[in-house]
């Protein structure tokens, strides 16, 4: 997720950033702007890459161009960006209402007001989620993620099963070919699978899901996606005994 924060007061900008980080999580990419021009530059640059900023937290009373005018420009450049005004002046409420933005937060900002605004965004933000119980599947929003190679999904599932532990290329080769003789071609194929997974996720605007060490060990960044397995292990989700029996059911190694 990408979030722009624009405020011309450095201490307030820092405070909003800290609050937003607590609400949105460390995995969010933040862009901090101290004036309108800088804010619009961030929006244009990200839009040109094909991955719009999803949330813009804008102060209204900024020098040169007001936050209201900045919001209008953002709506033209990046229509899918959720705009939330952050202001110390309630007199702008009617102007904000007429712009049909996602929210209006009064300063000083706190996590409760920030969370409420984020929970009621006008434009829902698609998220990467993984389903482990039942047939293993990866979703972005409501749509399944399509991988270039059929074995990408199994390798991704295996890394998720390891819950962040680094896995060697040798282990991944054994996963795919068991006792078959190791070859340079298989080594390259494993790296191509990892590359294809990264490319497929990056095309959705999700980076750094797979981490690696010295290019021969791979792991998963658990902060980058939602997962029913991790929610269950952390006590956030209940899974019945019947559901547990279906854990990644298409992969024989997952029965263990």
Q: Is the pLDDT of residue 92 over 80?
A: no
List C-alpha distances in Å: 146 to 126, 137, 189, 213. Answer: 15, 10, 18, 26
Q: 238 is written with which tokens?
A: 């209940």
β pairing state of 210-213 and 217-220: antiparallel
Helix 150-161 / helix 184-202 crossing angle, nearest 10 deg: 80
The whole-angstrom separation of Cα 9 and Cα 25 is 23
Q: 139 is written with which tokens?
A: 């979703």
- Please give the average per-residue pLDDT across 120-127, as a whole number: 88
Q: Is the pLDDT of residue 114 over 90?
A: yes
Question: Residue 62: pLDDT band by 50, 70, 90 thresholds?
Answer: confident
| DSSP letter for each residue of 4-28 | EEE-S-HHHHHHHHHHHHHHH-TTS
Q: Is the pLDDT of residue 21 over 70?
A: yes
| Global pTM value | 0.70
**Out of 36-40, 93-97, 229-233, least confident range:** 93-97
**Out of 16-30, 59-73, 123-137, 177-191, least confident range:** 177-191
Element (H, E) at 56: strand 55-59
- Please give the average per-residue pLDDT across 16-27, as a whole number: 90
Question: Residue 180: pLDDT band by 50, 70, 90 thresholds?
Answer: low
Tens-digit pLDDT profile for residues 143-176: 999 999 989 999 999 999 999 999 998 899 989 8
β pairing state of 210-213 and 137-140: unpaired
The whole-angstrom separation of Cα 152 and Cα 2 is 26
β pairing state of 143-144 and 137-140: antiparallel
pLDDT for 65 equals: 86
Tell which wins on pLDDT, 10 or 125: 10
Tell which wins on pLDDT, 34 or 177: 34
The whole-angstrom separation of Cα 125 and Cα 82 is 9
- Please give the average per-residue pLDDT across 54-66, as a whole number: 89
- Please give the average per-residue pLDDT across 38-67, as a whole number: 90
Q: Is the pLDDT of residue 136 over 90?
A: yes
pLDDT for 245 equals: 93
């Amino acid at each position: 997720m990408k979030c722009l924060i624009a405020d011309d007061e450095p201490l307030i900008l820092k405070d909003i950033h800290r609050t937003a980080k607590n609400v949105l999580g460390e995995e969010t990419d933040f862009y901090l702007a101290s004036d309108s021009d800088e804010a619009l530059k961030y929006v244009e640059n990200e839009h040109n890459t094909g991955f719009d900023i999803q949330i813009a937290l804008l102060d209204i009373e900024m020098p040169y161009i007001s936050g209201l005018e900045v919001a209008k420009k953002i709506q033209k450049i990046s229509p899918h960006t959720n705009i939330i005004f952050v202001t110390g002046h309630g007199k702008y409420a009617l102007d904000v209402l007429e712009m049909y933005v996602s929210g209006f937060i009064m300063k000083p900002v706190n996590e409760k007001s920030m969370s409420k605004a984020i929970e009621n965004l006008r434009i829902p933000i698609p998220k990467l989620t993984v389903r482990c119980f039942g047939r293993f599947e990866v979703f972005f929003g409501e749509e399944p993620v399509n991988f270039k190679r059929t074995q990408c999904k199994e390798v991704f599932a295996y890394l998720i099963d390891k819950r962040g532990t680094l896995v060697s290329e040798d282990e991944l080769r054994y996963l795919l070919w068991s006792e078959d003789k190791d070859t340079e071609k298989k080594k390259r194929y494993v790296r191509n699978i990892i590359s294809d997974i990264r490319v497929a996720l990056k095309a959705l605007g999700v980076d750094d899901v797979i981490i690696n060490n010295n290019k021969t060990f791979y792991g998963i960044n658990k902060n980058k996606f939602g997962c029913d397995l991790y929610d269950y292990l952390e006590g956030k989700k209940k899974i019945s005994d019947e559901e547990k029996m279906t854990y990644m059911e298409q992969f024989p190694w997952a029965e263990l």
